[in-house]
Amino acid sequence: MAKPAKALAKRIDQLKSHLERENPLLVDTVGHFQQLDQVAYRTGLLDRSESFANHISWWPLVSVLGTFSAGKSTFINNYVGLDLQRTGNQAVDDKFTVLTFSGDNEVRVLPGLALDADPRFPFYQVSEKIEEVASGEGGRIDSYLQLKTCHSENLRGRILIDSPGFDADEQRNTILRITDHIVDLSDLVLVFFDARHPEPGAMQDTLEHLVRGTIERNDANKFVFVLNQIDTTAKEDNLEEVVAAWQKAIVQTGMTAGTFYCIYNQSAAVPIEDPTVRERYEKRRDRDLAEIHDRIRKVGVERAYRIIGALENTANAIEQHWIPKVASTLKKWRRSVLITDLAVFGSLFALLAVFGFMAGVFSDPTPAGMAAALGLPVWLFSAIVVALLAAAVWGHYRIRRWHANRLIRSMRRSGVAEEVINAFRKNTRWFRSVLLARPVGWRAAARKRLAEIREAADDFVQALNDRFTNPSGTNNPPGSDSGSA
């Protein structure tokens, strides 16, 4: 355990060193994530080789998702100013590609292992998640991920992720699991549609999975829906109808948040003969592209709020969801174990009691008397009693473990957080009494620590607000002591 803990401490130190140069405010946030870790270690929510700080992306992250041939790669190439991603009407990329800035002019393509083993990137240890979905696939990380580096100022200080299309039948479950992982970590999600297929039915079931997954999110505004290749609608001049069809398709899935943009690639556009129509389309495209680029430019600010929000949300999850779930599952486990113990051992002892009375064992309740009634030497009778008691203890622990495993399987089927399962497993270890009701490590001190972390998160938000706002409208610098509030 010491070696993984040492490796974790080294990774956290590297993260802090990077943030000291890039955003010093977030260095303190790392420290508060470590305080959350201490609560999680004591309650069993986390293993000591893990940290909540490694469960989020510390880099501003933009993901580009959508169906095949929707123009994702073309958009990325135009944005970075280089032909990084292959383009075409067919499925040309079958991997998730992470694009980052490089200090030299050479474009490098690195294997998925470079992402899976580096905690600075959003795919750290994603092979374990892949393995959960498809046994044996976690070792084939290079089949799902690749890292590309290039010298593009538009990538400096942020990460872009280009996804394979959602229409692929092979490895679909794994692709969806990785996609869900990306969406959770992203500061901005660009979802591309193909205007050449304007009917709502063109949205594949996997894309519906993506859209439906945003309905109950508290960060649904980070989704941007991009209707690409709108130049193909110019001949009929029915852009508004096409947009309405796609918007209706999205609303029918239950998604009401998110912004809708219309763009097309000028170099590959269908010629628009009517100058009035061409001007209107170009104006719409330029306006929407500018807004998309502006959203990408601002992800650094959104990233800071996201990380602080993750700090507070994790503290809330521990106190309001995870620990209560552990406690309620422990209650079920305790009741099941005691009922099974009563049924099994009660029946067994009842049978032994009936047999004893029939044999006259209890006429003289001393060990010698009971042994004589059975016609056994005292030592053999004592050995049998000890063996029966040992069998009862062994049986009790087997019952404990069986019910614990049954509940763990049920929680996994229900999608319960792995942290809850870890804590439940710790609470059902052999040396923990089945009669203990309170989850291990959950005391007043832990609740106080979480309250302090939530208060610190509010202070961090205020510090960020002071950087970007000045509600008083005075000339005093934001955050100064003078001036009205």
Task: Kindly report the CATH number assigned to the domain that includes residue 280.
Answer: 3.40.50.300
Spatial separation of the C-alpha atoms in residues 425 and 25, rounded to whole Å: 36
Report yes or no on 9 lying in a domain.
no
Neighbours of 440 (CB within 10 A): 17
Report yes or no on 67 lying in a domain.
yes
DSSP codes, 95-151: SEEEEEE-SSS--EEEETHHHHT-TTSTTTTHHHHHHHHSTTTGGGGGGTEEEEEE-
Give alpha helix (H) positions in 253-322: 275-297, 299-317
pLDDT at 135: 67
Count of domains observed in the chain: 1
Neighbours of 410 (CB within 10 A): 12
Question: By the 8 A CB rule, do 224 and 259 touch?
Answer: yes
DSSP codes, 434-453: TT--SPTT-SHHHHHHHHHH
The 10s digit of each residue's pLDDT in 310-323 is 899 999 999 999 99
Report yes or no on 39 lying in a domain.
no
Question: By the 8 A CB rule, do 58 and 185 touch?
Answer: no
Report yes or no on 169 lying in a domain.
yes
Spatial separation of the C-alpha atoms in residues 109 and 114, rounded to whole Å: 10
Report yes or no on 317 lying in a domain.
no
Give buried/exposed letters for 363-372 (b at 16+ CB in 10 A, else e): eeeeeeebbb
Report yes or no on 234 lying in a domain.
yes
Mention every residue, 6+ apart, whose C-beta is less than 8 A from residue 240.
none
At residue 182 the predicted structure's pLDDT band, cuts being 50, 70 and 90, is: confident
Which strands form 188-194's sheet, in the order they lie side by side? 108-111, 145-150, 96-101, 159-162, 61-66, 188-194, 223-228, 259-262
> Using alpha carbons only, how large is the chain's radius of gyration in Å?
30
Reply yes or no on whether the pLDDT at 126 is more than 50.
yes
pTM of the model: 0.72
Question: By the 8 A CB rule, do 62 and 23 touch?
Answer: no
Report yes or no on 416 lying in a domain.
no
Reply yes or no on whether the pLDDT at 484 is more than 50.
no
Mean pLDDT of all residues in the chain?
81
pLDDT at 138: 67
Q: Where is 193: in which H helix or E strand?
A: strand 188-194
Tokens of 328: 């309620």
| Better pLDDT: 463 or 179 | 463
Range of the domain at 229: 56-297
Phi, psi angles (nearest 5°) of residue 222: -80, -5
Reply yes or no on whether the pLDDT at 91 is more than 60.
no
Report yes or no on 221 lying in a domain.
yes
Question: By the 8 A CB rule, do 49 and 5 touch?
Answer: yes
Lowest mean pLDDT among 183-197, 215-229, 386-400: 215-229
